[in-house]
Chain A
Amino acid sequence: MANTFKIPEVLAPAGSLDKLKIALSYGADAVYVGGQKFGLRAAADNFTNKELREGVDFAHKLNKRVYVVINSFFFDKDFEGLLSFVSYLEEINVDAVIVSDLGVVNFINSNSDIPIHLSTQASCVNASSGKFWKKFGVTRLILGREISIAEAKFIKESTGLEVELFIHGSMCMAYSGNCTISNFTQGRDSNRGGCSHSCRFEYELIGEDENSESFFMSSKDLNGLYALEDFIKAGISSVKIEGRMKGPLYAATVSKVYSESVQEFKKTGKLEKEFLDHQYKELEKFTHRSYFDGSLIKPAGDHSVFNEREHQDNKYHILGTVVDVIHDKFFVVDTKTKILSSTKIEVLTFSKGCLEIQLDELKDLSNDLLDNTRPNQLIKIPYVPGVQKNNLVRYCS
Chain B
Amino acid sequence: MSFSICIHSKEDLNLLADRRDIKEVIIGCRELSRSFDCSKEDFYEISHLAKTLNLKRVLCYDALICERDFNRVMSFFEIIDQDSYDYIRVQDLGVFEQLIELGHNQLQLILETAFHNKEAIKVILKNYGEVVSKIILSYELTLDLIKEYIEIITKENIGVELLCYGPILLFYSPRKLLSASLMTEKQVVANSLESPHKGYEILENLHGTFMYHLKDLFIYEQLKNLSIDKRIDPLFTKDGIEKFFDWLDNSNERYPKQDRKFTQGYLAVNKTDVLFPKLKNTRLNRVDENFVGTVLENKKGSHIAVRVEGKRVKKEDELYFINPEGKIINHTIQQLYDLSFNDISSAENQDIFLIKSLKKITPKTKVYLN
Contacts and interface: CB of A to CB of B under 8 A. Distances in A.
A and B are interacting partners? yes
Contact of B297 (A180, A208, A377): A377
- Main SS class of interface, B: mixed
A79 B119 contact: yes
B175 interface: yes
A185 interface: yes
Interface in B151-180: 168-180
Contacts of A276: none
A175 B194 CA distance: 23
A51 interface: yes
A290 to B, nearest CB: 13
B94 interface: yes
Contacts of B303: 365-366
A209 B188 CA distance: 10
A365 B339 contact: yes
A178 B113 contact: yes
A43 interface: yes
Interface residues of A, number: 101
B305 A378 contact: yes
A203 B322 CA distance: 44
A365 B305 contact: yes
B184 A151 contact: no
Given A51-B286, A107-B119, A151-B66, A207 B184 contact: yes
Interface string A301-332: 11111010000000000000001101001001
B79 interface: no
Interface in B178-194: 178-185, 187-194
Interface string A131-169: 111011000000010111001001100000000000000
A384 interface: no
A79 B352 CA distance: 40
Contacts of A121: 114
Contact of B68 (A144, A148, A183): A148
User: Interface centre among A124, A127, A191, A217, by most B CB within 10 Å?
Assistant: A217
A102 B118 contact: no
A303 B299 CA distance: 51
Given A128-B95, A212-B182, A376-B363, A48 B288 contact: yes
A26 B89 CA distance: 48
B78 to A, nearest CB: 14
Interface of B: 64-68, 70, 92-98, 113-124, 127, 140, 145, 168-185, 187-195, 197, 200, 202, 211, 213, 265, 270-277, 279-280, 284-286, 288, 291, 296-297, 299, 302-303, 305, 307, 339-341, 352, 354, 362-364
8 contacts: A106-B119, A124-B93, A180-B169, A183-B140, A188-B275, A198-B192, A212-B181, A365-B341
Given A127-B67, A204-B191, 9 more contacts: A79-B117, A102-B119, A103-B121, A129-B97, A207-B182, A210-B182, A212-B182, A334-B296, A365-B354
